[in-house]
Amino acid sequence: MAQTVRTGILLIGILLLAIACCDTSQLIAQDTQRAVVASDPSTQSPVGLNAEQIAALDAQIEQMRKDWEVPGLSVVIVQNDQVLLCKGYGVRELGKDAAADEDTLYAIASNTKAFTAAALAILVEEGKVRWDDPVSKYLPWLRLSDPLATSDLRVRDLLCHRSGLGTFSGDLLWWGTPYSPREILERSVHLKPENPFRGGYGYSNLMYLAAGEVIHVASGMSWGDFAQKRILDPLKMERTRVSTHDLVGMSNVATPHKTLADRSVPIPWMNWDSMVAAGGIISSASDMSAWLRLQLRGGTLVDGTRIFSPETSYEMWQPQTIIPLSKARSLRIPSNHFRAYGLGWSLADYQGVKLVGHSGGYDGMYSETLMVPERKLGIAVLTNSMTSIGNAICYTIVDRAVKGPDRDWSSENLKQFRKGREEFYGKIAAAIKPTAEGTQPSHPVEAYTGVFECPLYGKATVETNEDKLRIRFQPYSELTATLEHLHYDTFVIKWDKSFAWFEEGTAHFVADATGQFTRIELNVPNDDLWFHELKLSRIGPAPKKSR
């Protein structure tokens, strides 16, 4: 009898445990669903910015543009699936009368990365790709210098900057060179990691090139064709282009400007076709309004057509890689407690809400996008200058929407920007300052000539021209300069052309025990293109000049 009672109690206990487990799994599923629903902006109904606030912002944006001396910019604000402001300010090119407007085209640069993430999301939903597929499944030829990264790199890793490569590492491979995305990626095996694989944040354009190649393999379409057919066309982003070649014959196109310490100078457009998946889109404020509204609707078009699902939108906006939050930033923005990178988007908190956004930097143009999903708010700022005015405009608008502090972001950011410019030019001045006066090169000028090669980048040739040393980087035909003696065996690089990202630098020739110059060490101070990664070793004499 006692045994029967114990058996009965045991059966009841098992039954209750099963019910509890069932209830727990249902609760977990319900919580997950609620999280996705909460992240779907279509479920929110916040109060939007009113007409008076928009009018005030309109005037404030123009004043900011004048304060920053930005030639031209275009801004769009969307909220509650409505376009509240979409217009241009200033001119398309300094010194000319043509005004910037809502349809003016600008390079959006790295704001392209969210389009690449969305393209992969579409393929994930179609079952052609999985976020955690090994990249080797699609790109068996891809090799990184870290064997672990090579063997275990996943599709997700390509989008969240945790490959181990340092920020902007290898960008000279695509900048101005004729290399295809595959050639660029094959050369990247020579890049040394800055962090352990998945062990830190390193912003990598190269991994987005790899993501573009995965899209190509999985869909059978080039990145540009896929983005056009599956994203741009459905959104009716009719003026948006994916190559500078497509700008030929188009009107209402902004001119890039190099931002100097005291002025802006118009510069030509730079072709970025080889890194289109990381930063090649050219768009307008009007077209970007459609993109922002798609994002804030959780991937659905106005007519109900689904580009990607709210669940996938939720996935792309989740932290994947922690971005270190500096003490200086914490002091400057006390309500910012975390920063992270999702899939194609930067993430942070501010004034109790989640921010989803990105910035973009192109030769002569900077852009900024920022969304507050809980407020159904989206902002895009496109400029024809290389300043951080976009960030100031975005935070000014967000403060109005979330009833944040009445803070003068423009003055703060402008002061910070000017300080940064001073520091930038200070680095250049320090780099080209002689350490000793009256020195002479240790060898005759011909001894410095030769063909030097970097396994990562390619060849550079040093020749003489009327007793002056000249250097030419073969992968980018316009990267040429005169080398003027600085001190000992170090020369100042005097570029023939003005480039957006850098000014003068130095080339230091290193001799072996026999006195022959076998290496060149480069120091070109800038914040984006790492000349120090070029390990140039002499492989032969300079080619003889034809008579």
The pLDDT confidence band at residue 355, using thresholds 50, 70 and 90, is very high
Per-residue pLDDT at 29: 40
CATH number of the domain enclosing 53: 3.40.710.10
Same domain, 411 and 457: no
The pLDDT mean for the chain works out to 92
Same domain, 449 and 419: no
Question: Residue 123 pLDDT more than 80?
Answer: yes
Q: Report the candidate in 134, 60, 142 with the shortest Cα–Cα distance to residue 393.
A: 60
The pLDDT confidence band at residue 1, using thresholds 50, 70 and 90, is very low
Same domain, 349 and 270: yes
Question: Residue 326 pLDDT more than 80?
Answer: yes
Same domain, 388 and 450: no
Q: Report the candidate in 339, 340, 338, 398 with the shortest Cα–Cα distance to residue 368.
A: 398
Q: In this structure, is residue 19 part of a structural domain?
A: no
Q: In this structure, is residue 332 part of a structural domain?
A: yes
What are the residues facing 339 on neighbouring strands? 348
Distance of alpha carbon 126 from its chain centroid, rounded? 27
DSSP 430-486: HHTS-SSSS---SS-GGGG-EEEEETTTEEEEEEEETTEEEEEETTSTT-EEEEEEE
27-31, 195-199, 234-238: lowest mean pLDDT where?
27-31
Q: In this structure, is residue 127 part of a structural domain?
A: yes
In one-letter notation, the amino acid at residue 289 is: S
Please, what's the largest Cα pairwise distance for the chain? Answer: 115
Same domain, 421 and 480: no
Same domain, 408 and 466: no
Rounded to whole angstroms, the Cα distance separating 101 from 384 reads 12
Q: Report the candidate in 122, 35, 76, 117 with the shortest Cα–Cα distance to residue 341.
A: 117
Question: Residue 9 pLDDT more than 60?
Answer: no
Last residue of a domain, which of 425, 453, 468?
425
Burial class (CB in 10 A: 0-12, 13-18, 19+), 53: middle
**Integer CA distances (angstroms), 456 to 161, 205, 280, 334, in order:** 21, 16, 23, 42
Same domain, 254 and 382: yes
The pLDDT confidence band at residue 304, using thresholds 50, 70 and 90, is very high
Per-residue pLDDT at 545: 67
pLDDT tens digits, one per residue of 369-405: 999 999 999 999 999 999 999 999 999 999 999 998 8
Per-residue pLDDT at 33: 45
Give the pTM: 0.90
Same domain, 328 and 250: yes
What percentage of the chain carries pLDDT values higher than 70?
Answer: 91
Same domain, 453 and 390: no
Q: Which residue has tokens 């006692």? A: 2
What are the residues facing 523 on neighbouring strands? 506
Q: In this structure, is residue 342 part of a structural domain?
A: yes
CATH number of the domain enclosing 506: 2.40.128.50
Q: In this structure, is residue 79 part of a structural domain?
A: yes
Q: In this structure, is residue 22 part of a structural domain?
A: no
Q: In this structure, is residue 2 part of a structural domain?
A: no
Same domain, 505 and 420: no
- The range of the structural domain enclosing residue 245 comes to 43-425
Same domain, 311 and 339: yes
Asked whether the beta carbons of 41 and 300 are under 8 A apart, the reply is no
Per-residue pLDDT at 405: 87
Total domains, the chain: 2
Per-residue pLDDT at 184: 98
Question: Residue 28 pLDDT more than 80?
Answer: no
Burial class (CB in 10 A: 0-12, 13-18, 19+), 500: buried
In one-letter notation, the amino acid at residue 501 is: W
The pLDDT confidence band at residue 467, using thresholds 50, 70 and 90, is confident
What φ, ψ does residue 403 adopt, rounded to 5°? 55, 45
Q: In this structure, is residue 395 part of a structural domain?
A: yes
Last residue of a domain, which of 390, 425, 460?
425
Same domain, 259 and 342: yes
Asked whether the beta carbons of 104 and 254 are under 8 A apart, the reply is yes
Which residues are CB-contacts of 62 (< 8 A; sequence separation ≥ 6)? 89
Asked whether the beta carbons of 519 and 462 are under 8 A apart, the reply is no
